[in-house]
A and B are shown apart, each in its own frame.
Chain A
Amino acid sequence: MSTTSSLKKTDKSTTNNALYSNQRVTDDDIFRNSSQFSKWSFTKQQLKDIRQNLADETLLRFQEKLKSYLAEHESDNFLTDEEKEAISSEFELGISSEEQLQIVSLYAQKVQIFCTKLKLPSEVIATSIIFFKKFYITNSVINLHPKNLIFTCIFLACKSENHFISAETFASKVKQDKQSILENEFKLLESLKFSLMNHHLFKPLHGFYLDIQSVLYGKVDKNYLGTVYEKSKKMLLNSYLTDVFYHYSPPHITLTALILEDEQLILKYLELKFLGFDPLTPEEKLNESQLISKKMYDTLMKTIENCKQDLKTSLLPDRETAWKIDARIHYFLDPMSFIKRFRAQKESNSNSNDASDEPDKKKQKIE
C-alpha cells in the first residue's frame, strides 16, 4: 500500500506539481521543498559544469595576473627568458576543477580533524564540512585560501546546528584571532545562499536501525545490529568528504552505507519491507501492484549501486599533488615567490644535482 502511493507521487515529481490542492503532501514533497533539494542538489553533469565554469574563470585570472606581472618587469630586465617561460607555463595551468576539488577535500578533512579535536557533535562536524565544501563550489581557492575558512565554517555550523559557542570562547579555543574568524562569515553565508538547513544522515541511520528491528523482528541479533550501526555511522561521517551529498537523498546514502557494512542483512530488510516476494521472480508472474513495487525497488537498487561507487572514490590528493596545488595558489598571490624559488632551485641544481629536498620542506610547512 505504502509503496504504491509513494510511487505515484514520484511519477509526477516535478517539484510543484505534487502540491496541488487536493493531493496529499508526502514526506518526499517536503524534502523537495527543502533548500537542500532545491538549491544544493545537482546531477553529476550539472555539478561538473559549475566547477568547470569556475576553473575557467580562475584560469582567466591567472592569465591576467601573468600579463600584468610580465608587463611590470618588461623594461627592467629583471626576468630572464628562461624564467619568463617557466612562470608562463606554471600560470598557464591555472587551477583545474579536479585540482580545486582535491585541495578543498583535503582541507575539508582538516575541518573534520579540528572538529573532532574540539569534541563537537557529529551533526556539527557534518554541517561544517558541508558549509566548507559548498563555499568552494562557487568560490575559487585563489579568492580565499581554504585554511582561512576552516574556523569560520566550524563557528557558523555551531550556530546553525544549535550548539552555540560565543565568538570569544571559540576563538580562544582554536587559538585564532576572533576578527579573522568573523570577517569571512558573511561571505560564507552569501555563498551558501543563506540556506543553512541540512538533512543529515545520522537521524535516518538511527531510523533505519529502528525500522530494521521492527521489520526483521526476532531475526536479527540486537548486539550485532548495534555494531553495524556504529560502523555505518563512521562511514557516513567520512561520506561528507565525497560528493554524494549533492547527488543522493539522505535515506539513499544511509542505506548505501548500511549495505556496504552488511549487504545480506540490509537486502533482506529491503525485500521484506518493499517487495514481500523474491526479487528474482520473473516479471510475468507478478501482479500489477507487485510490478509497481518491483520497479521502484529496482530504481532504488540502481541508485544505491551508483552511490556505492561514489562513496568509495576518494577525492583526497596524494601529498605531492597537494603540495603542487597549494604552491600554485601561493604563486598566484605572489608571483615573485615563484621566481625566487625557481632561481634557488636552479642554483642548488648547479651545486649538486639533487633538488628533491626542497619540496619536502615546503610540504611539511603546509601540513
Chain B
Amino acid sequence: MSESVSVPNQIDLVDLTETKPKTSKLYSDDESDHESENENDDMRDIVCPICKTSRYLSPDMKFLVNPECYHKICESCVDRIFTLGPTKCPYENCNKILRKLKFKRQIFDNIEIEKEIDIRNKVYKIMNKLEEDFETRKEYDKFLEDREDVIFELSNLDSNNEAQIENVEKKLMKYEQMNKRLIQVNKMKLKNQESKQNDMDSVQQNLEKERLALIKQMEEQNLEDNQTYKQKIIAELSKGTDKNKIIANVKMEIKLKKSSQRRKLEELNKVLKSNSYSYNHFNKFQENSNEEFADVPFTPFNGDRELHRKYKVLEDHQLYYDPFISNLGKVSKYVANGFNEKSIYDRLLNEAFLGFGVFIEEEKSK
C-alpha cells in the first residue's frame, strides 16, 4: 500500500522538474511507472541458488554466508538444512562441513573483502599487542607489519594451497601459545579503552549539544531583543528627549548583552578543541633520543646522513653579512612562499663542502 502512495508523489516531482507540456502528462506517468519497475528488477531477480526462491516472491529474504566457504544461502534454507546439526555445504563440489551457529549476514558486497575482514578480526584477536608493549616505535612498526603479513597470507593464498595456509596458521597458533597471558591482559585493556572512549565520546557529544543549544538560544534572543529594543526606542522617543542619545544608549546595551553570550560560546569552543584526546605514546622516546635526529633527511642510500657536518650555520643568521639574501628575505612575496634565510645559508654551505673530501686524482686512479 505504501508504494501506491509514494508513486503519485514521484510523478508530481517529475512533472515539476521536467516541466513537460500538459498534453504528454499521461504518457509521462506511464513511463515513470515503468522505470521504477525496472529499477526493482535487479532486486527481484536475486534468487537463492538452493531453494530457487526469488526476492520477488519473498521480499524479506536474507542471505547468509558461512566463513568456512562463503557460499551464499538464504535464511530459510539455512534454517531448513542446518537445524539438525552440522552438514555439508549444499553447493556442488563444496565439501565443507558447516554449522548453523557460524552463519552470518554478509556486510560487504565483494566476498573477497568480507573474507579479509573476517580474517583480520580473527588475527587481531590473537595478535593484539599494544603500543605500550614495545620499547621503540621501530619494534611496534615491525609488529604491525608482521601482523599485516599474516593477514595478507591468510587471505590471499590460494585456497587449494593448503600446506601453505596450514603453515601460516601454525605460526599463528604458536604465537597464541607463546603470548597467552599477554593476549588476555590486552583484551581487558582494549575493553577498558573502548568503554573509556565511549565515555569520552558521550562527554564530547554533550558539549556539542550544549554549544548548539547556546547558538540557537542566542539567535532566538537576538530576534526577541530586536523587537523589544525597537519598542523601547519608540517608547523613549515618545517621551521626546534627544533621539540620537537614546539610540546610542540602546545600542550600547545590546552590545554588552551580546558580548557576554559570545564569551560563553567561545569558552565552550575552546573546551571542545582542547578536549582532543589523541596523544602520542611515543613522545617519550623522542624526548630521550638525540635532538639532532629529527632534522636528518631521509636518504635513498643505505644509511642515514652524517650528522656532523663540516660547517655550522650560525644560529643568529643576522650575523652573516649578505645584502643580497637578507634583502630577499624582506620581500613579502618570497617570504609568503616559504623563503627562509637560514635554509638558503644551509644549502650554500652544504654545497661548499659537498665533495670536500673527494680527491679525484687519488680516487679515480684506484
Scan residues 320-360 of chain B and give those whose CB is less than 8 A from a CB of chain A: 320-322, 345, 347-360
Proximity string of chain A (100-114) to chain B, C-beta cutoff 8 Å, 1 when within and 0 when not: 000000000000000
| Chain A residues, CB < 8 A from B273 | none
| Chain B residues, CB < 8 A from A248 | 360-361
* CB of A199 closer than 8 Å to a CB of B: yes
Selected from A23, A24, A32, A299, the residue in CB contact (under 8 A) with B307 is A24
Instruction: Choose among B349, B355, B360, B363 the residue with the greatest number of A CB atoms under 10 Å from its CB.
Output: B355
Scan residues 207-238 of chain A and give those whose CB is less than 8 A from a CB of chain B: 207-211, 213-214, 217, 222, 225
Selected from A199, A247, A303, the residue in CB contact (under 8 A) with B354 is A199
Q: Is the CB of A25 within 8 A of B319?
A: no
* CB of B304 closer than 8 Å to a CB of A: yes
Q: A25-B304, A25-B305 are in contact. Are A10 and B359 (CB under 8 A)?
A: yes
Q: How large is the interface on A (under 10, 10 to 19, 20 to 34, 35 or more residues)?
A: 35 or more
The complex places the Cα of A5 from the Cα of B305 at a distance, in Å, of 13
Count of residues in B whose CB is under 8 Å from the partner chain: 39
Chain B contact residues: helix, strand, loop or mixed: loop
Q: Is the CB of B350 within 8 A of A27?
A: yes
Selected from A22, A33, A203, A306, the residue in CB contact (under 8 A) with B347 is A203
| Closest CB in chain B relative to A225 CB, distance in Å | 8
Instruction: Choose among A25, A252, A254, A296 the residue with the greatest number of B CB atoms under 10 Å from its CB.
Output: A25
**B173-181, B199-207, B309-317: which lies at the interface:** B309-317
Scan residues 12-68 of chain A and give those whose CB is less than 8 A from a CB of chain B: 13-15, 19-33, 37, 41-46
Q: Is the CB of B356 within 8 A of A249?
A: yes
Q: Is the CB of A28 within 8 A of B357?
A: yes
| Closest CB in chain A relative to B313 CB, distance in Å | 8
The complex places the Cα of A250 from the Cα of B354 at a distance, in Å, of 8
| Closest CB in chain B relative to A131 CB, distance in Å | 20
Instruction: Choose among B314, B319, B356, B363 the residue with the greatest number of A CB atoms under 10 Å from its CB.
Output: B356
Q: Is the CB of B363 within 8 A of A210?
A: no
Q: Is the CB of A251 within 8 A of B353?
A: yes
Selected from B301, B357, B364, the residue in CB contact (under 8 A) with A6 is B357
| Chain A residues, CB < 8 A from B356 | 6, 27-28, 249, 251-252
The complex places the Cα of A26 from the Cα of B311 at a distance, in Å, of 13
The complex places the Cα of A13 from the Cα of B356 at a distance, in Å, of 13
Q: Is the CB of A2 within 8 A of B361?
A: no
| Chain B residues, CB < 8 A from A225 | 321
The residue on A at minimum CB distance from B356 is A251
The complex places the Cα of A28 from the Cα of B357 at a distance, in Å, of 6
| Chain B residues, CB < 8 A from A42 | 360, 364
* CB of B366 closer than 8 Å to a CB of A: yes
* CB of B308 closer than 8 Å to a CB of A: yes
Given contacts A37-B360, A211-B352, 13 further A-B contacts (CB under 8 A): A2-B309, A14-B366, A19-B302, A24-B306, A24-B307, A26-B305, A28-B354, A31-B355, A41-B364, A43-B364, A204-B354, A246-B360, A296-B357
Task: Please give the residue numbers on chain A whose beta carbons come within 8 Å of chain B beta carbons, in ascending order.
Answer: 1-3, 5-7, 9-10, 13-15, 19-33, 37, 41-46, 199, 203-211, 213-214, 217, 222, 225, 246-252, 254, 296, 299, 303, 306
